[in-house]
Amino acid sequence: MLRVHEDSEEENRGLVHQLSNESRLSITDSLSEFFDAQEVLLSASSSENEVTDDDSYASDISDNISEDNLSNDIENERQTLDCVPDGSIECQSQRRTCLPAPCPNTSNISLWNILRNNIGKDLSKVAMPVELNEPLNTLQRLCEELEYSELLDKAARTHNLIERMVYVAAFAISAYASSYYRAGSKPFNPVLGETYECIREDKGFQFFSEQVSHHPPISACHAESENFVFWQDIRWKNKFWGKSMEIVPVGTTHVILPAFRDHYEWNKVTSCIHNILSGQRWIEHYGEIIIKNLNDPTFHCKLTFVKAKYWNHNVHEIEGSVLDKNGKIVHRLFGKWHESIYGGTPSSPTCIWRASPMPKDYEQWYGFTQFALELNELDPVTRPMLPPTDSRFRPDQRLLEEGNIEAAEVQKQRVEQLQRDRRKVLEENNIEHQPRFFRKSADDSWVSNGTYLELRKNPGFSKLDHSVLW
């Protein structure tokens, strides 16, 4: 059975912890903040920043909610971890606990001025400063959804069907936790054919991802372990409402637990970045997630990410229920997506999941969790095993991580131009790009073609021809 956490009392934090330095521009996601700045604001996500017809423009009255009404929770800091520079002291995980350089100061960048000065121009050609990015990209952000993969491990060891659904639901919620402190920057967009892998022996999973389409931009990923198989492909539509940006994900997440032949699938909710042009920026997620077990319809789960209201100072709340075939509630869930999730009743709660402590001085490291700090690390052992298309070799992202802003800007423009050149060659020769590690399934979703991990065993990536992405 699910056990009560030793410290079952929820750690409430005020919204102020989420709010980034006011000088930093906020165009981020959580699971959805995966766009280049001009793409987020002006068009659908695309690493070349072409404008599409997906955008809507209106005023967003919800941005008038005052910060005071949203930040009355009791402030209770997460525990912190010591940040030790690379090579100084070996940490227990033998992984870095901070980045080579802190995030840059962007107080001199005005997004409003950029938009105002380019009225009437082709906005797809307007360059956005690389400082608006964080040194991770969409493919790596998809991997962040596995930070709490131990919830799937628990589900795989649980014989009770309801409890398995509860653990899967907690895992679906935990995917949003890393976005809480990330309202000050945005990930890089992968270029077509870019890949990323994350092999975590400590967590027991192998993850890989690929940018499989450019128009529309689609990122696909796959992970497997002894206990589960996880995959999804996703694209994003966005709506610019003047003061806020809504990011609407399109796609389905899948998890299989082989031990019980369960096949769970669920959708994602809408993410919204508030106060984009001025004021303190913050992120919220709202909408419903429906989790189904395709191989056993006995129970399903409904999760509601509650949208902030004028009259309710509580934010980031989750309400959920596991229901039987007749719609009868058999288990309740509640909590906050950035803190912890509980089952049962408020009078006798059982802690199912709690977010990990944040690293010390996390504000300097783009608000990254410890897991996120490790994603772009390139160690000598891993390097020869990776294909040259892996995101860790991307020069603009690497230079931003190292704090070399000017060089990162030059490389970003070069990488984007190379992609335009490749696309032009394909169009002129009437050739359609074929992803290397994913294929389209019968329902038009992207699934692994089973070659990535096999090639890695040889290792065989060095024997293959690869497009020059950067």
Range of the domain at 406: 15-91+95-281+363-415
CA 336, 338, 340: angle at the middle one, nearest 5?
55
Vertex 24: Cα angle to 20 and 25 (nearest 5): 110
**Dmax of the chain from CA atoms?**
67
pLDDT at 186: 84
End-to-end CA distance of the chain: 51
Asked if residue 441 is part of any domain, the answer here is no
The reply to whether 434 falls in a domain is: no
pLDDT of residue 114: 67
CA distance 43 to 49: 7
Is residue 211 assigned to a domain?
yes
- Tell me, what's the pLDDT at 1? 52
**Is 195 within the bounds of a domain?**
yes
Domain assignment present for 447:
no
Number of domains in the chain: 1
Q: Is 324 part of any domain?
A: no
Examine residue 428 and state whether it is found in any structural domain, yes or no: no
Residue 288 is predicted with a pLDDT of: 97
How far from 427 is each of 53, 218, 420, 431, 439, CA to CA, in Å? 21, 19, 11, 6, 21
Cβ contact 290:267 at 8 Å: yes
Instruction: Give the pLDDT of the chain (470 residues) as one tens digit per residue.
Output: 554 333 433 333 333 334 333 333 333 333 333 333 333 333 334 444 443 333 333 333 334 333 333 333 323 333 333 333 333 333 345 899 999 999 988 766 666 666 666 555 544 455 678 888 999 999 999 999 999 999 999 999 999 999 999 999 999 999 999 999 987 678 999 999 999 999 999 999 999 999 999 888 999 999 999 999 999 999 988 777 777 778 899 999 999 999 999 999 999 999 998 887 777 788 899 999 999 999 999 999 999 999 988 766 778 999 999 999 999 999 999 999 999 999 988 889 999 999 999 999 999 999 999 999 999 999 998 999 999 999 999 999 999 999 999 999 999 999 999 999 999 999 999 999 999 999 999 988 999 999 999 998 877 888 888 889 99
pLDDT of residue 19: 37
The pLDDT, as a whole number, for residue 112 is 65
Is residue 99 situated within a structural domain?
A: yes
pTM score, whole prediction: 0.81
